[in-house]
Chains A and B, each alone.
Chain A
């Protein structure tokens, strides 16, 4: 589904402040595969996501999604096939629009309705209520309230739901539970896995929680200095403890993992 070959990115090339964001990342994900991504601050995790989503053009290499070369496709064009969530729950929704309007905004675009038709129709509301009820947060009864009034956890859950209302081919999750309290984070993590499995969405999830990194999905990718330094799957992964993983990191990089939000605990419930 996702085929990244030798992806390179140099920021501010040919200047004294030039620095390498990605130095030859290659990664293949099969359809429906769920991989977690870990690494220190500045390892290139978010840079990789930005490159895939098209926030900037890469310096070299190629990105293919579902057989299509998207290396130089415009950001909003590839957004049709790529769902994205960020750490800040505020980024995924519009605060002054109601829950139903936020959903209708994305839904009417994704279903390619004529833009001058009323975006929210009776059939949509029934549909939105049904998907919202799966969150188990009571949002289905509060369709008309402004999203800005929701808690961070509710907003992030809603953003996740909106990003997958029409299931994308690829879902990029950039520490999307890091700003949430542990209980809510656990809930959103479970919800993420459930939605990705139900719709068979190929997913990459950056996490600061080493427990989750080993537990969620079927593959763990470790990045350092703009490269993938470790790619774990199968038995090797299931047998690994968070402590083992940190030791492997030390062996590979000769440094301690120093992500400022790193959690060593197992995935909190």
Chain B
């Protein structure tokens, strides 16, 4: 197992998981825009790296992700479309947009052009290249984490958290619930787009199918992180998202290197992890009911 490479990917997906945490846990809404906005980040980032502006590519990956999220938010609030369908519509539309950005080609290679990572490597020629890259990714991920931790303690951040918790209260508090919703989905997808943008320049190519099923990867990371971090504050939740993303990569790398399953089984494994974790409360209740029944019957027999 390539430890540094696994950690690098883990922290890149950590940024994605921060975004998924915002919609899935803070807003309490599964947002399916993700598959499209992640690929959008890759496409935009690759296109700008190709034209020699890799840093701008990361920035625009963030902004275009926010734009995609805002479209989903508008569909939900102003058009009154169910949140799941709104996400699916944006995601589906983005497939064409992403192909258009990639000039109709399903993949774009960055082998011939500079990326932020080649620039960082060049800046520290003496150091180990994997360590330098990992450091850069960790710094970016920590910045995203810190930014969100700060944001969720501002007035706007509290509104986002309250909207996911008790929408009626938010409306009664003279807060425009529609704006809060649009802002939240935009913010979440901004980080998802940024994650895609970083990945494109990290791996040196963008692929139109990079986002397929990525929501499940993000959700799996969120639930794995919650196993590791028990505390339920917002900062703990953000931390759990990053830890979960790294742990997910490590687990997958271990499973692959031990030949537990071939690489093409990854998505199925992720889906099973998410389904199983989300089912735990219900399974616990079943087990508890069974226990109560068993004890009740035993008491009757003993009388």
A residues apposed to B, CB below 8 Å: 53, 75-80, 84, 90-97, 101-102, 104-106, 108-110, 113-120, 163
Are A109 and B175 in contact (CB-based, < 8 A)?
A: yes
B173 within 8 A of A: yes
Q: Measured between alpha carbons, how far is A75 from B171 in the docked complex, in Å? A: 8
Q: Looking at the assembled complex, report how far the CB atom of B181 sits from the nearest CB atom of chain A, in whole angstroms.
A: 12
Are A119 and B157 in contact (CB-based, < 8 A)?
A: yes
Binding site of B, secondary structure by majority: helix, strand, loop or mixed?
helix
Cβ–Cβ < 8 Å partners of B169 in chain A: 91-94
Q: Measured between alpha carbons, how far is A248 from B3 in the docked complex, in Å? A: 83
Contact flag A91-B175 (CB < 8 Å), given A116-B156, A119-B155: no
Cβ–Cβ < 8 Å partners of B123 in chain A: none
Are B166 and A76 in contact (CB-based, < 8 A)?
A: no
Given A76-B174, A104-B155, A105-B173: 20 more A-B contacts, CB < 8 Å = A76-B171, A76-B177, A77-B174, A79-B175, A91-B166, A93-B169, A94-B162, A95-B165, A95-B166, A97-B162, A97-B165, A101-B158, A104-B158, A105-B159, A110-B173, A114-B155, A115-B156, A119-B158, A120-B153, A163-B172
Q: Looking at the assembled complex, report how far the CB atom of B290 sits from the nearest CB atom of chain A, in whole angstroms.
A: 28
Cβ–Cβ < 8 Å partners of A84 in chain B: 172
Which residue of B is nearest A120, CB measured?
B153
Contact flag A117-B161 (CB < 8 Å), given A80-B174, A92-B172, A106-B173: no
Q: Which of B89-132 contact A (CB under 8 A)?
A: none
Q: Measured between alpha carbons, how far is A6 from B174 in the docked complex, in Å? A: 26
Contact flag A117-B155 (CB < 8 Å), given A79-B172, A97-B161, A109-B174: yes
Cβ–Cβ < 8 Å partners of B162 in chain A: 94, 97, 102, 105
B176 within 8 A of A: yes
Contact flag A115-B154 (CB < 8 Å), given A96-B161, A105-B159, A110-B174: yes
Cβ–Cβ < 8 Å partners of A114 in chain B: 155
Cβ–Cβ < 8 Å partners of B156 in chain A: 115-116
Which residue of A is nearest B158, CB measured?
A105
Q: Measured between alpha carbons, how far is A145 from B175 in the docked complex, in Å? A: 24
Which residue of A is nearest B150, CB measured?
A118
Which residue of A is nearest B179, CB measured?
A76
B154, B155, B171 interface centre (most CB from chain A within 10 Å): B155
Contact of A76 among B153, B165, B175 (CB under 8 A): B175
Cβ–Cβ < 8 Å partners of B170 in chain A: 94
Are A118 and B174 in contact (CB-based, < 8 A)?
A: no
Which residue of A is nearest B178, CB measured?
A76
Q: Looking at the assembled complex, report how far the CB atom of B29 sits from the nearest CB atom of chain A, in whole angstroms.
A: 14
Are B158 and A108 in contact (CB-based, < 8 A)?
A: yes
Which residue of B is nearest A166, CB measured?
B174
Q: Looking at the assembled complex, report how far the CB atom of A158 sits from the nearest CB atom of chain B, in whole angstroms.
A: 11
Are A94 and B165 in contact (CB-based, < 8 A)?
A: yes
